[in-house]
A and B are shown apart, each in its own frame.
Chain A
């Protein structure tokens, strides 16, 4: 296509090949056919947000101090906290946000990037789920993806806990109590992780720091590499473009010069959007929250959106503990904080297997379904999404009370019912809609076929009776 582009690349490939003998691989890479549909770019957005996270994160490490040693804040750039006792960690983030050049821009971009990263993963997951992209032979790719989602949630949670401001401290309390609620192992596990009871020993912060900047990023990076490698080796899935397209033909646009500029543009664009809101919209203004002390708290503290579903669940579960005699087997936070995410992730992990089990479909699939092509899957998916979403909404019910005046307690009771009823309704509606869409298409196809048949007959008749104007038309 681009005349001037080709020799240039060829020269570059040759240069590399002479030094690395990778020409065949490179050529293959450049000729790799990418599916030509925008929804395949969602995963890329997540990838670029991850890159922004790593890049901005590295800058933040230059200034962050991973210590809970108590210091007195002496930053005259922020009088509202001047002279207060706080951890060195929090003081370092204050300094980084308010006194370091570009520190706030980078910190805000880092945090927005985390929000967007998880949102993009979720959208990518929706695309993969509702089109059946996870089916054989791509279950591994899918499981890696779900695992990355889970790791990213933890990584983000540790990230904003590190700051040690009032909100993060309260978040840590909740995380700790959920951890404690795990049956049998909870107590020991949390003691081991925190190196003692809450709020932990001085070892806790360095541990969280290493987890946040080294262990989790590397894990995610490795899984990401494997994820992308598997995608390439099994090749992308694609939508059916023509009726006759088989599972074996690959259509799309080549890596170069088709997809590469597109991806580059998306990378620059994603980074651009992230830095733009990082510079224009405040996120987690930690200097306003103040330091965390075990005796202080704030009304309406919330986690970031991607953990909001867990807060919603913690609120919805009626308060009861499962006890055997005097032994509390399952303390209350277990249901909302541990059982609920376990069910959701369990569903995600087992779904490909469940589907194969129930449809008996063992075939390879390179062509994607449209959501309507698999009404049952779409229905179940919609039900699951609305279930989690409604629980998520319940997490904001206190704010709804404050701003709209709808009582908190009645809201919670309504949610307790609605959370079970509406997903079923939505799922059925989705299923029915798919069926209707399919039926509509069948009608169209039938009509089309009937018309064609009629035309053929007319043509045959026309051959017998020349001069028929209709016959000439076709």
Chain B
């Protein structure tokens, strides 16, 4: 009986990647919430981020990459170390549904969140035991909309489009920010997920960040004099309206007025 169990354990070790090279175990944290997080981590994150959240760099990252195969921009391993990323990054990656990543080699995208609020808090608490910044609390009300507009245009619009509608850059797709909450914007700026650069306090102060957050909230429902907004994308939808609305209307007019009078 014991032999069978040992064998099963060995097989499990082989099957669960990362379990074998788990290094010196940090062990179960004492704090109950973090301990629950440790448990969840073992279930959902260990395979990529490795034992002790020290990262796994043993295989090339695109080994299991599928689909269109966006290259994993930065790191060479399967999942990066979570030491020092802090509650801030964990909160961002979990509440956006970026983690757990579905396929290796793909850019993390917004997905339905797998965990309950309690579970997220637990995972965040666990990742936080490895040190790093706390979850920020932006105060958009203190920021200036106009300054936010200017800063966003200068630092973010090149990737996310001026009205945060998203776009394409080499190596990744900066998403639209329509679903990003104030906290997530503040977190993303300090993390710099995927190909996005990381902005330090020196590059953008917290007050400037408040302004940016305020501007991002403004883009969710911009003032719109002038009628139907066409998605705030500029000329592409305008061309569509020209050719599929205005021109057909005028063609109908031509057909009606141009009906044959002579025989």
Interface string of B233-259 (1 = CB under 8 A from A): 111101101110111011001110111
CB pair A299–B250 under 8 Å, yes or no, is: no
Stretch in contact with the other chain, from B42-50, B111-119, B128-136, B224-232: B224-232
Complex-state Cα separation, A347 to B247, whole angstroms: 26
Q: Smallest Cβ distance from B173 to chain A, in angstroms?
A: 6
CB distance from B137 to the nearest CB of A (A): 24
B200-241 CB mask vs A (1 if < 8 Å, else 0) is: 000000000000000100100011111111101111101101
B145 near A285: Cβ-Cβ < 8 Å = no
- Does A196 sit within 8 A of B, measured CB to CB? no
Chain A nearest CB: distance from B152 CB in Å?
A: 9
Residues of B within 8 A of A415 (CB): none
- Assuming the contacts A253-B261, A398-B168, A402-B167, asked whether A299 and B174 have C-beta atoms less than 8 A apart, the reply is yes
Choose from A277, A285, A296, A402 the contact partner of B246 (Cβ within 8 Å): A277
Q: Is B35 an interface residue (CB 8 A)?
A: no
- Give the Cβ gap from A390 to chain B, nearest Cβ, in Å: 15
Q: In the complex, how many angstroms separate the beta carbon of A388 from the nearest chain B beta carbon?
A: 14
Per-residue interface assignment for chain A, residues 120 to 155, with 1 indicating a CB less than 8 Å from any chain B CB and 0 otherwise = 100100000000000000000000000000000000
Contacts A36-B261, A269-B253; is A80 near B158 (CB within 8 Å)?
A: no
Of chain B, the residue at the smallest CB distance from A251 is B262
Is A116 in contact with B167, judged by CB distance below 8 angstroms?
no
Q: Does B149 contact A (CB under 8 A)?
A: yes
- A80 and B149 within 8 A (CB): yes
Number of A residues, CB within 8 Å of B: 73
A39 to chain B, nearest CB (A): 8
Q: B193 an interface residue at 8 Å Cβ cutoff?
A: no
Check if B68 is an interface residue, CB within 8 A of chain A: yes
* Interchain nearest-CB distance for A72 vs B (Å): 11
Complex Cα–Cα for A283 and B162 (A): 16
Indicate if the CB atoms of B145 and A270 lie closer than 8 Å.
no
Contact of A308 among B222, B235, B245 (CB under 8 A): B235
Closest 4 CB pairs of A and B: A38-B258, A305-B239, A299-B167, A398-B168
List chain A positions with a Cβ less than 8 A from chain B.
36-42, 45, 78-84, 97-98, 104, 108, 112, 115-116, 119-120, 123, 166-167, 251-253, 258, 262, 265-266, 269-270, 273-274, 277, 279-285, 287-290, 293, 295-305, 308, 396, 398-399, 401-402, 405-408, 410
